[in-house]
Amino acid sequence: MSARHAISKTESWKANIEYHEKLLDSYDKLPHFNKESVDRVKSILRQLASRNKNGQLVDIGCGTGFMLRIARPFFKKIHGVDICRQALKHAGAGDGMSLWQCSGEHLCFSDNSVDAVAGFSVLHHLYDIEPTLREAYRILKPGGYVYFDDEPNGEYFEMIHKLSLQKDLPEIHANEVESIINVEQLLCERDGIEPELVRMAEFQKLVGGGFKKESIVAQLEKIGFIEVNLQFRWFLGQRALQQSGERNSIGIIEKYLLSMLPVTEPLFKYFWVTARKEESN
């Protein structure tokens, strides 16, 4: 039985609305939205825009507008979609930007109508990712790109759960185990969000255990995407290096660990992925 059958689609949908409403005031201050993330997303969106003549972008699960603000200089038109009405109110609007309350499974855009579809930290909130991936494919013009970022690497979460069974871990490992294994309790103490609500809202990560590379690539290719490019990021211990001021070491360590893939795959917490819709003959 797959993880998603432990709750219903309606329960997942309602949990995500409530969860994100509780986080609205602090959402843009989360670690995921740091300068490193902004710079990476900006670089990727700039490349995608240049490949598609700076056309139209749809941001699935746009939340309070993190990716919308970054994408604004690169696309002629930007559409933000989210199931949470309150989040859309925080996202605001402006020239060349529109906001829509709808789900990723039922996007309110015509077939072959947009140049790029993106989402930041959204797939692991979904009850089932395949309908959303299919919708992205449907609305993309031939040659258009899909891009998802800040998604949990299943190999990493599997490794962390194995580490949690060990005693006397080094401090870096112990801190990371604590942040993963007890994340529901940490959010409860910090934001007053009930642990069960956290599990339902981040079900694919906290219960499903994240996504394995081969599974994501296979799903995208099954739908019809080509040129699937999945890149890992944020290695075990990176936060500790940042907090200690050892930022110069991060690039060196990251480059080495990436050069040792796939052996080092379990050491990376997140990934981002792009893929292209094949052009018509």
pLDDT digits (tens, 9 = 90+) for 165-199: 888 888 888 888 888 888 888 777 777 888 888 88
CATH number at residue 221: 3.40.50.150
Domain span including residue 159: 3-277
From residue 20, alpha-carbon distances to 37, 93, 165, 198, 257 in Å are: 20, 19, 32, 10, 34
| Count of the separate structural domains present in the chain | 1
pLDDT of residue 80: 96
240 pLDDT tier (thresholds 50, 70, 90): confident
Q: What predicted TM-score, i.e. pTM, was given to this entire model?
A: 0.92
